[in-house]
Structures are given as C-alpha cells and as structure tokens.
Structure 1
C-alpha cells in the first residue's frame, strides 16, 4: 500500500547473494573499460598448463606479453590463460580464458601476480 523504505531489498548490495562464481569475479578496478573491438583473441589458448616456475617473477616485464597468450599464476594459487591488451602501473587489462565462457574481459591487479609465461 505504501513504499516501505526499510524493506530488505533496499539494503542489499548489488551482486551480493546472487552468485559467487570465481569465473565472474574481477581481480581489480575495471576503470580501463572494455577494449576496442578486434583485440580479443580469435582462437583458444594452447591446450596445456605449463609447470609453475621455481622462481617468483612478479609482474615486472609483463608488457612484453601484450597481445600474446600468457599463462598467469596468482599469489592465491590459482592459474589461468590470459591475453593482456593493456598494462598499467597497478593493473593489467585483457581477456581471461574460461572453458565455460571462452574469452571474456577482465582486469588483474599486478600485485596479485606470482609469475607468468608468454607463448606465441
């Protein structure tokens, strides 16, 4: 009959309680926005997961991997294929590969990267 300002829906944060799927979780601020059309890879990444390097590389030098299939190991222990299209001081933007969704745009915080390896 009237608009109740104390309804539960008015206090829910957007996206909370809907799902908590890692595949749809961003790794950092998305202020880069989606890249121009035509930069998404046209093929799938290599069909293997390389072994993690014995040394920690961090994200320095990852600019040399722009527009190349790159395997990334995160500090959290997760690893995945990534196709970087922009490298900033704090984040890397590009496309992450998911068997379920294919390539989709994501940003990654540089300080969360343990190591990486580029492939042609």
Structure 2
C-alpha cells in the first residue's frame, strides 16, 4: 500500500521551493542505476536524505524518489512521475532496494 499525500503548502511542483523540505528544482537523472541489494532500515537509507534516490518496492514498482523525511518505520518525500514531483510516503518494510546518487 502506498500513499499519495497532498503537496505541502510550502513548496511548488515547479519553480522555487519555499522550504528545505520542498521538491528538487530539476528532474532526476535520466539513467536508472543498477539495483544493489541493501538492508533497508532508517540507518542505511538516512544517507539518501535530500539526494536523488532510486527505489525498488517489493511489489515490483520502481521510481526516482527524493526523500525529505526518514523515520524509524517510514519514509516520505517526492516521487518522480515522469514530468512532475508528487509528495509520497511509504513504509520502509515495503522497499526491496535503493540507490542514492
């Protein structure tokens, strides 16, 4: 189960961000990284905060993600949908692997 959360009021999908937790101002890299197996926990993914991160979910979905919050059991930030960043969150236990660049 994934959540599509509304865009926070302090950021815009395009143009300048009005806070440190807004979406990136540019699209993610065009090349998809090779999947590397990682143990997914708050410590391992914490280094990806505010960095372009490619996520593979256990259900087969995969996408570019820009994390702005990493909790003990969940992560949230901005998911790239091909032309726009949307606010998104999921449980860490749903993530199969990730790579941040």
TM-score normalised to structure 1 length: 0.65
Report the counterpart of residue 33 of structure 2 in structure 1.
Answer: 50
Write the distance in 2 (CA, Å) between the matches of 1:35 and 1:75: 31
| 1:84 and 2:67 are equivalent in the alignment | yes
Q: CA RMSD in A?
A: 2.2
The structure that has the greater radius of gyration is 1
Q: Name which structure has the greater RCO, CA cutoff 8 Å, separation 6+.
A: 2
TM-score normalised to structure 2 length: 0.76
Match of 1:98 among 81, 84, 97: 81
Structure 1 runs not aligned, ≥5 long: 1-25
| 1:34 and 2:16 are equivalent in the alignment | no
Q: Which runs of 4+ in 1 moved over 6 A?
A: none
Write the distance in 2 (CA, Å) between the matches of 1:63 and 1:34: 21
Structure 2 runs not aligned, ≥5 long: 12-16
